């Protein structure tokens, strides 16, 4: 199963944006034990590439590990060499789009307006990350898909237990979920049971 197929089936992409990635393995174990099957490590942490390489050595092909906050072609090749299985960006950039195509990696660029979303899709995005979704609401997904039903949209930013089903019911292909899933206090306390249970709560909300 490809990373895109895993995301299509399981609907959730956990976004790991932490200052300390020395716990990447334990964190990934907690999330996967809770049923999460796609995890994005953002390059806002300089250790993310090493964390991706480490995780890819441990977890099998049923777990998709990707790189987020990718904004240059050079970063695409770095994460590709580390074993990343998909690439996410807060924006659409031509050089990143082209590098992902050359590396054979699904590309999920961020876009906000219908024009930006369609441009990213026509350039070959595998999924368009609708970002920041907290300023738009779940109904926005339905409104965009009404005239453009062929798009795959992944709302990201502000997605939580209270609104995730609404996003999916309005046609979202998948959801990017960050701090509401990966609780900073639980990470600081190394409370992996709490993180696992929180992941299960998200998975249990899926249709």
**Residue 29, CB half-sphere, CA atoms under 13 Å: how many?**
10
Tell me the two tokens of residue 135.
């300023």
Tell me the two tokens of residue 198.
């929180």
- Quick check: is 40 catalytic? yes
CA distances to 120, 181, 183 from 198, rounded to whole Å, are 33, 6, 9
Strands (DSSP E) along 64-131, which ranges?
64-68, 87-88, 107-108, 110-111, 128-130
- Quick check: is 93 catalytic? no
| Other residues' Cβ atoms within 10 Å of the Cβ of residue 99 | 21
Catalytic residue among 11, 40, 54, 78: 40
The set of catalytic residues is 40, 129
């Amino acid at each position: 199963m490809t990373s895109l197929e895993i995301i299509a089936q399981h609907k959730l992409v956990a976004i790991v944006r932490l200052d300390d990635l020395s716990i990447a393995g334990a964190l990934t174990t907690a999330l996967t034990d809770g049923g999460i099957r796609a995890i994005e490590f953002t390059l806002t942490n300089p250790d993310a590439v090493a964390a991706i390489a480490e995780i890819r050595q441990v977890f099998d092909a049923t777990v998709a590990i990707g790189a987020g906050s990718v904004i240059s072609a050079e970063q695409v090749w770095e994460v590709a060499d580390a074993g990343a299985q998909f690439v996410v960006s807060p924006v659409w950039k031509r050089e990143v789009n082209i590098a992902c195509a050359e590396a054979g990696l699904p590309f999920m660029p961020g876009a906000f307006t219908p024009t930006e979303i369609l441009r990213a899709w026509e350039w070959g995005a595998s999924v368009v990350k609708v970002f920041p979704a907290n300023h738009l609401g779940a109904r926005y997904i339905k409104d965009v898909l009404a005239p453009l039903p062929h798009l795959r949209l992944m709302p990201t930013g502000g997605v939580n237990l209270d609104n995730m089903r609404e996003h999916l019911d309005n046609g979202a292909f998948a959801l990017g979920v960050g701090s509401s899933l990966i609780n900073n206090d639980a990470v600081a306390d190394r409370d992996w049971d709490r993180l696992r249970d929180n992941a299960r709560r998200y998975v249990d909300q899926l249709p």
